[in-house]
């Protein structure tokens, strides 16, 4: 199976085409600025390297950057529509957990928490029942032993350890395309429940309607 996997939740974007688990073409963007315009060109270049034949498209759905998620998911759906193939959604927590497993990481009975930077002084924290937006200084204490992954893992693990929690810091930080593809393949095979590629938003929209209401439509 040939899978195009896109990971763009935070820290720029990466995409790759994997054939039977082996990467045959890949590309990366390190900056989030200009990502919506740069990502389609990156994906097109990867497709030129590996050939356009695909069986499945997979995209990270969040939580993460609004801009990154929208850009990655939009490109994924465009490729899926043009190719007539399914587009699977993969959460950041799933991809990071797959990364730990593929690298032989051992949790030793610990519960895995995922911590992703959100707006200032906040993190998206997934304790195993879906992400929530929480201030770093008010993190809930775990009821048992935990391990933390994600790009905010250092900050969250330090805060929890200072509060007396039994916490282990993992090396899993970024959701890589190979891990996104591995989850999507199992989803496609029915080994995991299907998840549509729609963005997971945790915070409420910050945009507000004007207090005086919208302007009248032009005539």
Q: Does a structural domain hold residue 212?
A: no
Q: Are residues 157 and 184 in the same domain?
A: no
How far is residue 23's CA from residue 25's CA, in Å, rounded to a whole number?
6
The packing angle between helices 66-83 and 35-50, to 10°, is 40
Comparing 32 with 88, the larger pLDDT belongs to 88
- Structure-token pair, residue 104: 């032989």
What is the per-residue pLDDT for 7? 96
- Of 39-48, 57-66, 192-201, 206-215, give the lowest mean pLDDT range: 206-215
pLDDT in tens, 148-198: 999 999 999 999 999 999 999 998 998 999 999 999 999 999 999 999 999
52 with 119, same domain?
A: no
pTM of the model: 0.88
pLDDT at 37: 92
120 located within any domain: yes
In a domain, 157, yes or no: yes
CATH number for the domain spanning 36: value is 3.30.420.40
Q: What is the DSSP letter of 212?
A: T
Segments forming the whole domain that contains residue 9: 2-93+175-188
| Domain total in the chain | 2
143 and 68 together in one domain: no
Residues 89 and 6 in one domain: yes
Average confidence (pLDDT) over 43-58 = 92
pLDDT of 29 higher than 70? yes
Dihedral angle, C-alpha 136, 138, 141, 146, nearest 10 °: -10
One domain for residues 47 and 25: yes
DSSP 83-148: HT--EEEEEHHHHHHHHHHHTT---TTPEEEEEEE-STTEEEEESSS-EEEEEGGGPPPPSS-EEE
At residue 121, the pLDDT reads 86
């Amino acid at each position: 199976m040939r899978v195009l996997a896109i990971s763009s939740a935070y820290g720029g974007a990466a995409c790759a085409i994997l054939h039977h688990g082996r990467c045959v073409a890949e590309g990366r963007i390190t900056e989030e600025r200009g990502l919506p315009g740069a990502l389609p060109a990156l994906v097109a270049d990867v497709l030129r390297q590996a050939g356009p034949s695909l069986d499945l498209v997979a995209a990270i759905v969040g939580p993460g950057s609004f801009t990154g998620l929208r850009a990655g998911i939009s490109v994924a759906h465009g490729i899926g529509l043009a190719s007539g193939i399914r587009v699977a959604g993969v959460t950041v927590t799933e991809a990071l957990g797959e990364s730990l497993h593929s690298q032989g990481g051992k949790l030793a009975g610990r519960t895995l928490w995922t911590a992703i930077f959100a707006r200032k002084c906040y993190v998206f924290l997934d304790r195993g029942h879906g992400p929530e937006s929480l201030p770093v200084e008010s993190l809930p204490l775990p009821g048992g032993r935990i391990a933390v992954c994600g790009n905010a893992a250092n900050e969250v693990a330090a805060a929890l350890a200072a509060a007396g929690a039994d916490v282990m810091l993992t090396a899993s930080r970024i959701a890589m395309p190979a891990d996104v593809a591995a989850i999507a393949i199992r989803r496609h095979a029915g080994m995991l429940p299907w998840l549509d590629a729609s963005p997971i938003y945790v915070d409420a929209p910050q945009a507000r309607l004007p207090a005086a209401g919208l302007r009248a439509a032009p005539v």
